[in-house]
Structure formats: C-alpha cells, structure tokens
C-alpha cells in the first residue's frame, strides 16, 4: 500500500462506521476535519485534482503546482474571516515508475515519493497548512477549502527568492479563478471545536 494510503483509508472507514452507528448516511462527507494539537487538519476525499489537464501535464513530464486556501468563517456565506491559511504544493510524475511525488515547499519543507494518484491527493491536502484552532470551544464556524492549479504567470509573482509571497497568494484567492483554470472548493459546517 502506498505511503499515507492506509491512514486515509482507516479514517474513512472509521467515519463510515461512526456514521452507520449514529444512523447517518454512509456517504463520505466532502470534508473530514479533525483537531490535532493547536491546528485543524483537513481531508477532502471527494476532491480529485490529479485528473484532466493537470494529470496530462504531469504525464508529459511537467511539474504542476497547486495553491490552496482554508478559511474559517462565522456563517456559511460570510465575508468576515475568522482565520485563514494559504499554502502551496508541487506534484511531479516519474514516468518510469508511474508514481507521483509531492513537495510542500514550506516552511517546513515536506515531501513524499512513490505515491499513487489517491495517495498523492490525500498527502497534499493532509499536509496543507490550516488555520490554528484558536476559537472558543463552543463557537460555531464554517470551513471552506479552495484549491487551484497554478497558472505559470501567477506563479512568478507568488514565488520569490526568500520563498512564497503570502500576500500575493491571499490576493490570488480574492479573485475568482479563470474559466480555464482547474479549481475545486468544498465547505463544511456548522462546526464547533469541542466536537472535533
């Protein structure tokens, strides 16, 4: 089994088992959110981003960058942001082994190799920086995950000598994605930290 694949599978089965015992639907939720230390961790089993144009580029030998933003808001439709985290990761493909590698440039730098498509997708989202879990335990909030394939023109403005320009990355998410830019979004809520 590829690295990280078993952990994701166990989480999904645990979630399905809990859902069944509680009388809920066995459908896998769009976002799985857990509290780990002082941060939130997110899995998005419904988001399949290594498909279509990004997958074609990877199989043609290119690396593909993805940018993501996770925001916490007090209501589902709100312009008020309680917390935000933006991040970037880069995926490549080894044509000889037919496996994927992924890098989160950081800091801290993290990477994984010899991954299948589902394992690479799960690893990237699991490693993405998320907002700190710093709200009062009983406060209600919503989580929104936005993911975009990088546009090479935008990448030049985001990536600089000292690292990633976070202001440019936040600015990027203030604009809607172009119609030709692969993008994904999922929202979950209402949530409370005490329940995670």
Mean pLDDT, residues 32-39: 84
Query: Do strands 140-149 and 110-115 pair parallel, antiparallel, or not at all (unpaired)?
Result: unpaired
pLDDT at 177 over 90: no
pLDDT per residue as tens digits for the range 107-130: 788 999 999 999 999 999 888 888
* Residue 119, number of CB atoms within 10 A of its CB: 23
pLDDT of residue 40: 85
Tokens 């979950």 belong to which residue? Answer: 188
For 86, 130, 148, 152, 194, the CA distances from 171, given in Å and listed in that order, are 11, 17, 13, 16, 32
Question: What global pTM score does this model have?
Answer: 0.71
pLDDT of residue 78: 74
Domain range for residue 173? Answer: 5-195
pLDDT of residue 1: 45
pLDDT per residue as tens digits for the range 57-70: 999 999 999 999 99
Q: How many domains does the chain have?
A: 1
Residues 6 or more apart whose CB falls under 8 angstroms from that of 187 comprise: 30, 31, 76, 142, 143, 144, 145
Highest mean pLDDT (candidates 7-16, 91-100, 126-135, 164-173): 91-100
pLDDT of residue 152: 67
């Amino acid at each position: 089994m590829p690295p990280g694949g078993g952990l994701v599978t166990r989480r999904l089965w645990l979630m399905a088992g809990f859902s069944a015992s509680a009388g809920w639907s066995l459908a896998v939720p769009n976002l799985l959110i857990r509290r780990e230390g002082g941060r939130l961790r997110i899995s998005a089993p419904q988001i399949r981003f290594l498909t279509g144009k990004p997958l074609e580029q990877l199989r043609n030998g290119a690396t593909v960058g993805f940018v993501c933003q996770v925001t916490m808001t007090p209501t589902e439709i709100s312009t008020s942001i309680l917390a935000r985290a933006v991040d970037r990761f880069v995926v490549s493909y080894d044509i000889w082994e037919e496996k994927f590698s992924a890098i989160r440039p950081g800091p801290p730098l993290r990477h994984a190799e010899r991954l299948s498509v589902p394992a690479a997708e799960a690893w990237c989202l699991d490693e993405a920086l998320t907002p700190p879990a710093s709200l009062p335990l009983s406060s209600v909030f919503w989580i929104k995950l936005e993911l975009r394939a990088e546009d090479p023109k935008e990448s030049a403005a985001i990536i600089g000598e000292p690292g990633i320009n976070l202001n440019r990355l936040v600015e990027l998410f203030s604009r809607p994605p172009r119609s030709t830019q692969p993008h994904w979004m999922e929202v979950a809520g209402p949530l409370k930290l005490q329940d995670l």
